[in-house]
Amino acid sequence: MPARIRLPRRPAPAPVLVVGSVAYDSIETPHAKGERILGGSASYGALAASYFTEPRLVGVVGHDFRAADRRKLERRGIDLSALRADEGGRTFFWRGRYHENFNRRETLELELNVFERFRPDLPEAHRASPFAFIGNIRPDLQLHVLDQMRGKPFVVADTIDIWIETMRDTLLQVLRRADVTVINDSEASKITGETNAVAAGRALRALGLRTVIVKKGEHGAVLLHDDGLFTLPAFPVERLHDPTGAGDSFAGALIGYLAARGETGFAALREGMAFGTAVASLTVEDFSCDRLASAGCAEIRRRRRELSKITRI
């Protein structure tokens, strides 16, 4: 079994469903280049969650998906029984470039490939998962996942700007059904017209979303919950290498923590965000999932403690 962070006096953690993309990314930053490296919301989300519980990844890859990348996920104990291998095409591909100290991201190439005909049908065993991270995929597919789930799963959902522009109504249906929406400040602003993260979060709740976490990149994140507001800075990394996947790592660690703790209240969410921030800080210190997959529990715990130190008044 892969190394996991054990919470004191807790029963065995519940499994977490992680739905999203598994992708190959080619990334240019102001300092370096990575070619066809493992990426995608489900890869980052599942690897992050794997530090707390068993993730069940739902996604699709093409005939070019490397055995080494599959092993990278398996080694962290991720259940890949619902990762479909579609031999009729290539894996989802994204080529992007970060500019000006990472403040701007540009998409240079996007190939949906096998993702174009992907339909996330859940195996029988996965439908009763008590926790789910529904990462960025087309909103109607996110709805399809929600419709298949049984019982009362605790759902964290994410999205990206293209769906706000092209499928706003379906997207809002998804986010209203989620227990927690995790969303970038720029996307929250695109939906609500509010540029301040707190104001945008409040406006999202006024649209019927339950709990909202607005991610602000290097400025941290804000939680808006029935029981109050909570803010958290980003972990101060020594050197930002590649921000891709930070948000998915944050959400994956958050849902993993909640599943391990077996609680989903305000206090659990705050603590989950702290672990999410610690785990996301690993992701941005290297290309792809390499540092995330190899960092180990001790380093995550150290960063979690450090966060307490730097926020304590």
**Contacting residues toward a copy of itself, per CB under 8 A:** 100-101, 103, 194-198, 216, 218-220, 222, 228-233, 236, 240, 270-271, 273-274, 307-313
CB of 231 to a copy of itself, least distance (A): 4
Query: Which segments of the chain does DSSP mark as H helices, in order?
Result: 41-49, 67-75, 139-148, 161-166, 168-177, 185-192, 197-206, 246-261, 266-283, 290-294, 297-311
Nearer to a copy of itself, 1 or 310 (CB): 310
User: Given the complex with a copy of itself, which of 101 and 107 has the nearer CB atom?
Assistant: 101
Find the shortest distance in angstroms from Cβ 222 to a copy of itself: 8
Between CA 255 and CA 271 the distance in angstroms is: 11
Provide the minimum distance between the beta carbon of 264 and a copy of itself in the complex, in angstroms, as a whole number. 16
Name residue, tokens 């008044």.
Answer: 313
Distance of CA 85 to the CA centre of its chain: 22
Of 135 and 243, the one with the shorter C-beta distance to a copy of itself is 243
Minimum distance between the CB of residue 194 and a copy of itself, rounded to whole angstroms?
8
- Angle at 193 (CA atoms; ends 189, 199), nearest 5 degrees: 70
Distance between CA atoms of 22 and 136, rounded to whole angstroms?
Answer: 11
129 vs 264, beta carbon nearer a copy of itself: 264
Mention every residue, 6+ apart, whose C-beta is less than 8 A from residue 46.
Answer: 18, 55, 57, 73, 76, 78, 252
> Based on CB atoms, which residue is closest to a copy of itself, 111 or 306?
306
Minimum CB–partner distance for residue 182 and a copy of itself (Å): 17
Q: Is the dihedral of CA 70, 72, 73, 75 positive or negative?
A: positive
CB of 254 to a copy of itself, least distance (A): 13
